[in-house]
Amino acid sequence: MKINFLHLIRIVRHGWKNIWLHRLRSLLTVLGIVFGVASVIAMLAIGEGASFEARKMIESLGSNNIIIRSVKLPADAKTQQASLLGVYGLTDRDMRKLETIPSVVRIIPAWEMEEDVWYYGKNISARVIGTLPEYQHALNLSIKTGRFFDYTDIQKSLPVAIIGSTVRTSLFPAEDPIGKSIKIRSSYFTIIGIAGEKVFAGASESFVAEDMNIAVYVPISTTKDFFGEYEVKRTTGGIRSWERNWVQYHRFVVQVSDTDKILATASLVSDILSQTHKKQDYQIIVPLELLRQAERTKRIFNIVLGSIAAISLIVGGIGIMNIMLAIVTERTKEIGIRRAVGARKRDIINQFLTESVILSASGGFIGIMLGILIPKAVTKFAGMMTIITPWSILLSFSISVAVGIGFGLYPARKAAELDPIQALRYE
């Protein structure tokens, strides 16, 4: 057993020598395998990333929720001239109407603004969210220290705040934030809790992927009292550099009683809102639907990259078979000599099969290197999350070895079946 293993190492070493002797030819031969293996790894990494992103998104939005966001429509020239004040988004009336849907358990409204939050000299641009206590459980928010606000805080419109983990680390790198006051616009809020860190799944922030760690949660009654229902935004360009909009709620989190009823509820919500809103100044996000969409994307990627991988691997395999047949012809005399000194057919098969496996496995190795780079580029340029799992590397390497065996067997057999005498006479 030990001897045989050492012998295998020697066969591999001999094979490698022969391949290295013709390294350019070998490299060109294995390009198909290289791209095939790279595609397999890229495919699996993109698929894995997409489903991870989707899962995390569902987790952060809540799988039994429907999210409705107010959307500011680009103002047409006429309205912009007519008034400085835009009106858009979700209202109390929408909320009362939506609450009548039987499958809706409750609607949690939220007011959201991008604000600079100050603590002495330090500041951070955070998402200030005015909402109700139920928001915490609806969106699976954990509290690391302190507490979330409750209905007493709401009733008294107290200036209390819960900060996300990024806000905490940038404003309070060394201090305990609990009990400290932060400044938003011109009002001070006392910190009563710190939210646990949430994995931010998106490669960049978007409507659906939001970084929850830069949030500051405050009672909705307090935001109404302090900031009113106006939002003030800096605009770029033009004479007016400030834009004022009236918006009552930026977001509804609609909790649905049953996962099965989500899609039906979503279409009811859409019907009701379209009756009262002339323009579609809202967006309905169904996390469950997002998951399905992510799976569709993943499937398309798998089909496209899977086909590329399959074609490359087959072409690569044929390339290897082709070169191995050429090598067998080129070394016919050598085969005759080896047979004359006592090599069995099996030894000849081992020799040439080893060479083709070394070829394809080297291609697989280069392909893995390339396959690790592709998902990184996809993440960088397409903003998609990718995850390279060890088993995908193992799988694609095994595929490359299998290709070497599969396409190397015929040439190796052919070499072994040569008549030793004819082979010796070959010039």
Partner 1 sequence: MQQNDSIITFDNVTKVYHLGGIDIPVLRGISCEIKKGEHVAIMGPSGSGKTTMLNIIGCLDRVTSGRYLFEGKDISSFDDDALSEVRQKKIGFIFQSYNLIPQLTVLENIEMPLFYQHLDERKTREKAMELAKMVGLGDRIKHKPSELSGGQQQRVAIARALMNNPLLILADEPTGNLDSVSGREIMKLLCELNEKGTTLIVVTHDAGVAKYARRIIRMLDGKIVDEN
Under the binding rule (CB under 8 A), the answer on residue 376 touching partner 1 is no
The H-or-E segment that residue 47 falls in is: helix 31-61
Q: Are 284 and 94 in contact (CB under 8 A)?
A: no
User: Which residues have CB under 8 Å from 236's CB, separation 6+?
Assistant: none
Of 178, 314, 337, 402, the one binding partner 1 by CB under 8 A: 337
Under the binding rule (CB under 8 A), the answer on residue 344 touching partner 1 is yes
Q: How far is the CB of 328 from partner 1 (least distance, A)?
A: 14
Under the binding rule (CB under 8 A), the answer on residue 424 touching partner 1 is yes
3-class secondary-structure state, position 87: strand
How many positions of this chain bind partner 1 (CB under 8 A)? 25
Under the binding rule (CB under 8 A), the answer on residue 24 touching partner 1 is no
Q: Are 269 and 66 in contact (CB under 8 A)?
A: yes
Sign for the CA dihedral angle at 343, 348, 351, 354 comes to: negative
Under the binding rule (CB under 8 A), the answer on residue 1 touching partner 1 is no
Q: Which stretch binds partner 1 (CB under 8 A): 51-59, 249-257, 278-286, 339-347?
A: 339-347
Residue of 157, 132, 162 whose CA lies nearest to 147: 162
Q: Which stretch binds partner 1 (CB under 8 A): 138-146, 261-269, 309-317, 331-339?
A: 331-339
3-class secondary-structure state, position 253: strand
Under the binding rule (CB under 8 A), the answer on residue 326 touching partner 1 is no
Of 219, 256, 339, 352, the one binding partner 1 by CB under 8 A: 339
Under the binding rule (CB under 8 A), the answer on residue 23 touching partner 1 is no
How wide is the angle at C-alpha 26 spanned by C-alphas 25 and 31, nearest 5°?
100
Under the binding rule (CB under 8 A), the answer on residue 73 touching partner 1 is no
State the amino acid at position 86 in one-letter form. G
Under the binding rule (CB under 8 A), the answer on residue 372 touching partner 1 is no
Of 10, 23, 137, 156, the one binding partner 1 by CB under 8 A: 10
In three-state form (DSSP H/G/I as H, E/B as E, the rest C), the secondary structure along 370-417 is HHHHHHHHHHHHHCCCCCCCHHHHHHHHHHHHHHHHHHHHHHHHHHHH
Q: Which stretch binds partner 1 (CB under 8 A): 15-23, 40-48, 175-183, 354-362?
A: 15-23
User: Which residues have CB under 8 Å from 43's CB, separation 6+?
Assistant: 301, 302, 305, 306, 309
Q: How far is the CB of 343 from partner 1 (least distance, A)?
A: 5
Of 73, 300, 304, 340, the one binding partner 1 by CB under 8 A: 340
Residues numbered 391 to 420 that lie near partner 1 (CB under 8 A) are 420
Q: Which stretch binds partner 1 (CB under 8 A): 62-70, 132-140, 342-350, 377-385?
A: 342-350
Diameter of the chain measured on Cα atoms: 104
Under the binding rule (CB under 8 A), the answer on residue 16 touching partner 1 is no
Distances (CA, A) of 48 to 40, 73, 393: 12, 35, 13
Which positions touch partner 1 (CB under 8 A)? 3-4, 6-7, 10, 17-18, 21, 333-334, 336-347, 420-421, 424
